[in-house]
Amino acid sequence: MLGDASHPQVRRWQAGMTARGWPTRLISLGGQSDSTAISYPRSGKAAYIRYWLRVRTEIERCNPAVVHVQSVSGYGLWSHAAGRRPRILSAWGSDIDRFGQSVIGRVVVQRALNRAAVVTATSAYLAKRTGQLLPRIAKHIQVVPFGVEPALSVDPMPPSPPLRVLALKGDREINGIDVLIRAAAQVVADGTEILITLTRAEPLAAAHRRLAQELGIGSRLTILPRQPHEQIPGLLASHHLLVMPSRLESFGVASLEAQAHGRPVIATDIGGLPETINADHTGLVVPADDSDALARVLRQLANDRRKLEQLGAAGPTWVADNYAWSTSLDQMVQIYEQVIANA
């Protein structure tokens, strides 16, 4: 497997496939080496070229039945080190939506996709975007989402008011946190109590604080350091809902995790995000870059506790029925078996 050893989703795939009888060796740029992974130092984009021969040597040594590439950008370049071995390429999002749209990136991605036995994508949206880069494979891309584990228990929602809103990503402009802050300011101006908690905000934390201060809601915004994944359920438990005001998003694992823990999600109608919500049943979808629309739904849920709890209660079952992690692993096992049988 080629992928980022520091990324929890890569490690989840590796552990999940091993548990199903498919032991893997991970080759990574960055992250920690251990008994199941070899990681080369991360030293800029040129490192993918610098370590290419070492990757090829490591693949030769392991002699895997199949090479699974997690993300089609730099690791797509490494995929050519597999030689004639069958390879599976899994598109993740930024590898297609950002890297794949540049001149050099498009060439790297197209060549990697062209040599793949099977291409997967995390959402129907991303499958379509990937197919646009190499139309001949468009009809054959298989959607295998990042599923989530069911919550062992669902905590009751905290008392209200105020409405406690959680946003888990705010380190890029595309996360749309400025839209959330402007929407919250409108809600507060109408006399509705709301508090916002934001994580993963650097390097934009100062800008977010400044905007909140300018709009008179500085005291209502709490910015936490980036939280370990195991802390997220506790954060969700202390909030009423998750907001994802994204301007670009290929999927939305955080959306699924929130719903699995009984918390509704408000998300924008961008990319693959709407696929992760059963609109009006487990969450609400609003137009991107529309603080007025976001303010309306925040105000609605702040003033309708029954609606808030109904949306939250429907989430765990819907996620279990449509995005179970075990189902995602089963799909990938079938793909492994298919690729090896056709090799």
> Tens digits of per-residue pLDDT, 244-288?
999 999 999 999 999 999 999 999 999 999 999 999 999 999 999
Q: Per-residue confidence at 296, pLDDT binned at 50, 70, 90?
A: very high
Q: Does the pLDDT at position 297 exceed 90?
A: yes
Q: Does the pLDDT at position 43 exceed 90?
A: no
CATH 3.40.50.2000 residue window(s) in the chain: 8-147+324-342, 163-322
190-215 average pLDDT score: 97
236-240 average pLDDT score: 97
Q: Does the pLDDT at position 95 exceed 90?
A: yes
Q: What pLDDT was estimated at residue 201?
A: 95
- The pLDDT tens digits of the residues spanning 77-93 come to 999 999 999 999 999 99
Q: What pLDDT was estimated at residue 31?
A: 86
CA distances 177 to 174, 186, 286, Å, are 8, 14, 14
| Dihedral angle computed from the Cα positions of residues 87, 93, 97 and 100, in that order, rounded to the nearest 10 degrees | -20
For the chain, give the percent of residues with pLDDT over 90. 93
Catalogue the E-assigned strands of the chain.
26-29, 37-40, 67-70, 87-91, 118-121, 142-143, 163-167, 194-198, 221-223, 241-244, 265-268, 283-286
Name the pTM for this structure. 0.93
Q: What pLDDT was estimated at residue 212?
A: 98
291-302 average pLDDT score: 98
Integer Cα distance of 188 and 220 in angstroms? 10
Q: What pLDDT was estimated at residue 221?
A: 98
Tell me which architecture the domain covering 8-147+324-342 has in CATH: 3-Layer(aba) Sandwich (3.40)
Q: What pLDDT was estimated at residue 273?
A: 97
Q: Does the pLDDT at position 45 exceed 80?
A: no
Q: Is the distance from CB of 182 to CB of 291 less than 8 angstroms?
A: yes
* Closest of 172, 183, 298 to residue 247, by C-alpha: 172
Which token pair is 166? 């959680």
CA distances 228 to 87, 199, 275, Å, are 32, 10, 25
Question: What CATH number labels 163-322?
Answer: 3.40.50.2000
Count the alpha carbons within 13 Å of 282 in the hemisphere toward its beta carbon: 23
Q: What pLDDT was estimated at residue 38?
A: 95
Q: Does the pLDDT at position 229 exceed 90?
A: no
58-67 average pLDDT score: 95
Integer Cα distance of 165 and 217 in angstroms? 14
Q: Mean pLDDT, the chain, as a whole number?
A: 95
Q: What pLDDT was estimated at residue 308?
A: 97
Q: What pLDDT was estimated at residue 32?
A: 87
Integer Cα distance of 191 and 21 in angstroms? 57
